[in-house]
Structure 1
Amino acid sequence: MIEVVLQGQTLKANLLNPEVSKRYEDGFDKVVKTFDEAAKCERGSDGIRMQCQAVIDYVTDIFGEEQAKKVFGESTDLLECMDIMEEMYDMYEKYITPKVTKKKQELIDRFSK
């Protein structure tokens, strides 16, 4: 399990599992597509609802319902959801890649002696 921080909340997920990683990638693409589709809504509130729900579903799919509730609380708004999407986008670069790079270097150092 890898710990990450979203909206100041520490969450855990098995982000190096290939199935979870695929859900992360596919989920991100789905949210971006929903953001594009929401622009076509006649009512602004419908577009906001679509976008927020897409982000909530995405975070829930990766981290589970209980951890997602920690991030979103009782209610959320579009700007908060956009901030969360930005944090999700940066998550691998900020948390996962450094861990993998460090571990790989430790193995190289250990076994190349």
Structure 2
Amino acid sequence: MIEVVLQGQTLKANLLNPEVSKRYEDGFDKVVKTFNEAAKCERGSDGIRMQCQAVIDYVTDIFGEEQAKKVFGESTDLLECMDILEEMYDIYEKHVTPKVTEKKQELIDRFSK
């Protein structure tokens, strides 16, 4: 399990599991597609709802419902959802890759003696 921070909340997920990693990648693509489709909505409120729900579903799929509730609280808005999506995009670069690099270096140091 890897700890990450979204909207100031510490969450845990098995982000190095290949199935979770695939859901992360596919989920991001799905959110972007939904954002593009939402632009075609006749009513702005429908587009906002679609976009927010896509981000909520994405975070829930990766972290689970309880942890997603910590991030979104009782209600949310489109700007907050966009901020969360941006944080989700950066998860591997900011949280996962540094942990893998550190662990790899520990193993190299330990076994190359």
- TM-score, with structure 1 as normaliser: 0.99
> Equivalent residue for 1:72?
72
Q: Distance in 1 between matches of 2:54 and 2:83?
A: 13
Q: Distance in 2 between matches of 1:101 and 1:8?
A: 24
Q: Distance in 1 between matches of 2:23 and 2:14?
A: 11
5+ residue gaps, structure 2: none
SS of residue paired to 1:15: coil
Deviation per CA, 1:19-63: give whole Å up to 9, x if none.
Answer: 000000000000000000000000000000000000000000000
Seq. identity, %: 95
SS of residue paired to 2:75: coil
Q: Distance in 1 between matches of 2:106 and 2:10?
A: 26
The runs of 4+ residues in structure 1 deviating greater than 3 Å are: none
Cα RMSD, aligned residues only: 0.4
Q: CA deviation at 1:109?
A: 1.2
Count of equivalent residues: 113
Q: Distance in 1 between matches of 2:45 and 2:65?
A: 24
Q: CA deviation at 1:110?
A: 1.1
SS of residue paired to 2:90: helix
5+ residue gaps, structure 1: none
